[in-house]
Amino acid sequence: MKWCLAFLLSFFLTTDLLACDCQHTMSVKEAFEQASIVFYGRVEGVNDETVEGYTNTMHFAIDSLYTKKGGYFVNIKVKEVYKGKLSNDVPVHIKGSWGLCDVFFKKNMEYIVFGYVMPDGQIQTNVCMLSAAVRNKQSLRKVKRLSIQN
């Protein structure tokens, strides 16, 4: 029992070693320029449980109920598009990769997403691209200014 407890404790103490390592911290301008799609929207649904291999992931192993809070494969209702072409009528599907750099999207929260359109039409993003929850409208104004300049 002590061995099991020591193993679990060492695992949780070293999880920061498994954190995402962005090679370069981007500015909002750089993220905007590198992304093929930039939009603002609200998370409407989480699809992780429908993705093959879901129960074999590190995310599931750490917290098998994490999808109650959010997920990595989500549907987002688009409110405003700043770069690229998207319909405001159809929810956008964000495709995670089960990697350490995936964005964890919380249910019913609003996000600014800097992403890439994949060949299958889904959008992929990561924390290095600055996709994040919108805490205030000031961050949206900065992205809106960049969209007007381009």
pLDDT in tens, 87-97: 777 778 888 88
How far apart are the two ends of the chain, measured CA to CA in Å?
61
On whether residue 10 sits in a domain, the answer given is: no
Task: Count structural domains, the chain.
Answer: 1
Instruction: Give the residue carrying structure tokens 């609200």.
Output: 42
On whether residue 35 sits in a domain, the answer given is: yes
Q: Write down the pLDDT at residue 22.
A: 87
Q: Write down the pLDDT at residue 116.
A: 92
pLDDT tens-digit readout, 92-136: 888 888 888 899 999 999 999 999 988 888 899 999 999 999 988
Range of the structural domain that residue 75 is part of: 20-149
Compute the average pLDDT of residues 70-84.
Answer: 92
On whether residue 79 sits in a domain, the answer given is: yes
Q: What is the CATH number of the domain that holds 40?
A: 2.40.50.120
Q: What is the CA radius of gyration of the chain?
A: 17
Position 84 pLDDT exceeds 90: yes
On whether residue 88 sits in a domain, the answer given is: yes
Closest CA to 127 of 148, 108, 91, 99: 99
